Amino acid sequence: MSAPDDSRGRSEADAPRIPAAPTRAKAAPGSPLERLRALALALPRTSEKLSWGEPTFRVDDRIFAMVKGGDGEASVWLKAPDGAQEMLIAAAPERFFRPPYVGQKGWIGIRLARDPDWEEVAFNLARSHELIAARGARRRDDAG
C-alpha cells in the first residue's frame, strides 16, 4: 500500500525533510572545545547537547558543564562543592570566576582561552560530573 497523498498531491516520500537540530558544536582540531569535549565524553553516561547555542555536557541528561564564549573568551562553567567557588577565585582569579546565573548556586567558571592547566580542568570537570550524578541518584532513590 502506498503512502497517502497530502492536500497538494504529494506523498510522504516527496515531503520536504527537516534537518535534525545539531547536537554538537563544531570546533577546530586541538581547540579548547575539542580538548574539553574529549575529557567530558570520557566520563560515564555523558552526552553532549547544544543549549542556548553552546555546548553543554550532561550526565543522565543533567547539565554538569556548560561551554561559554559569548564574551569573546572561551570558558567552561562547572558545579563545585560548597565553599570551593570562593576559595578557587581567591586563589587564582586569573583562571577562575563566578559565572552569571549559576554562580549564585556555587558554580565556577574556568577560563579556557588563557592556556589553562588541563589537569586542573579535568579534575574540576570530573568533580562536577560526580556532584551532578550523585544528586540525580539521590532523587531517583527518593522517588523509588
CATH number for 74: 3.90.1150.30
Residue 78 domain-assigned? yes
| pTM confidence score | 0.77
Is the predicted pLDDT of residue 50 greater than 90, yes or no?
Answer: yes
pLDDT value at residue 40: 97
Residue 18 domain-assigned? no
In 10 A of CB 48, how many CB atoms?
A: 16
Is the predicted pLDDT of residue 29 greater than 90, yes or no?
Answer: no
Determine the length of the chain.
Answer: 144
What confidence tens digit (pLDDT) does each residue in 65-102 have? Answer: 999 987 678 999 999 999 999 999 999 999 999 999 99
**Helical spans, DSSP H, in the chain:** 32-41, 84-91, 118-143
**62 sits in which H/E element:** strand 62-68
Total number of domains constituting the chain? 1
> Do 59 and 45 form a contact (C-beta atoms < 8 A)?
yes
pLDDT value at residue 1: 52
Is the predicted pLDDT of residue 23 greater than 60, yes or no?
Answer: no
What confidence tens digit (pLDDT) does each residue in 116-143 have? Answer: 999 999 999 999 999 999 976 655 545 5
Residue 48 domain-assigned? yes
Residue 138 domain-assigned? yes
pLDDT value at residue 22: 47
Residue 4 domain-assigned? no
Least-confidence region, from 11-15, 52-56, 110-114, 127-131: 11-15
Residue 10 domain-assigned? no
Categorize the per-residue pLDDT at 30 as very low, low, confident or very high, splitting at 50, 70 and 90: confident
Residue 34 domain-assigned? yes
